[in-house]
Amino acid sequence: MSLTSDEDLVRFSRFLLAPEVSENSLQRLKASSATVIGVGGLGCPVALYLAAAGLGRLRLIDPDKVEISNLPRQILFGPGDAGRTKVQVATERLGTLHPSTQIEALAEAVTANNAQSLLSGTNLVIDCTDRFAARHVVNEACHRLGVPLVIGSALQWSGQLLVVDPRKKGSGCYACLFPTEDEQPAVIDAACGAYGVVSTAVGLVGLMQANEALKLLMGMPAPTGQLWQLEARSLGLETMRFRPRRDCLVCGGLGEE
């Protein structure tokens, strides 16, 4: 299968030099859709790299407006965007930079009541939210829909990355690692703004999310059943492996090896 134009061949020529990437890989990416939840320090680089790589359709979900305090780490926004919805500004920026990607902007919050409807019809979800409760809602919705999920988080100099694929045996889910409120109601859930976050740390995690998302969308394997933990000050990266929990309230150990 060939790319659609000579311009595409020039644009993606360096990408195609990688032995794992073929024209079929890029065609698959061009025919795919992905949903980014949270257009902040994580979501901005994720959206940029997915669009730049030639993703066909991108859905952006975030109810928030741009604030001046966002600017050091949310790289799609500038001072003149303060007060505008993040998804609107991101759509305009990405439309200028990468017009071939169709963008759907939803300025609303993902909740337990609307998660499945907001996330349906997509090939992949990338969770870039900053609260445990939101990640649990997204994790459960993706499990029910059978859609793979790339979760990232960052706080101060540290970050985490987790790939969940309910289609894959032994994948487990977010709730296998982090108990839900029903299981551990005393968990303190606060946004990164309450504790601080370093722009480069959150940017690194966002790039890692984009990396795993591109692999999945192009049909390449991405590691599941493990939590990647980043320490940006020392550039340390550690992996913690885990198995699905039989008593998990979301997946119930389904797919356990």
Catalytic sites, residue numbers = 192
- The single-letter code of the amino acid at 14 is R
Question: Which whole-number Å values give the CA distances from 106 to 82, 87, 116, 131, 229, in the listed order?
Answer: 18, 7, 14, 19, 30
Q: Phi and psi at residue 112, in whole multiples of 5°?
A: -60, -25
In three state form, how does the secondary structure of 130-176 look?
CCHHHHHHHHHHHHHHCCCEEEEEEEECEEEEEEECCCCCCCCCHHH
Place of tokens 């505008």: 84
User: What Rg value do the Cα atoms of the chain yield, rounded?
Assistant: 18
Bridge-based pairing of strands 158-164 and 149-155 is antiparallel
Query: What does the block give as tokens for 179?
Result: 């108990």
In the sheet that 149-155 helps form, which strands lie side by side, from edge to edge?
102-106, 57-61, 33-37, 124-127, 149-155, 158-164, 226-231, 236-241
The answer for 252, left when phi > 0, alpha when psi is -120 to 50, beta otherwise, is left
- List of long-range contacts for 145-148, beta carbons under 8 Å, 24+ apart: 145/116, 145/119, 145/120, 147/119, 147/122, 147/123, 148/123, 148/124, 148/216, 148/222
Nearest C-alpha neighbor of 139 from the set 126, 130, 122: 126
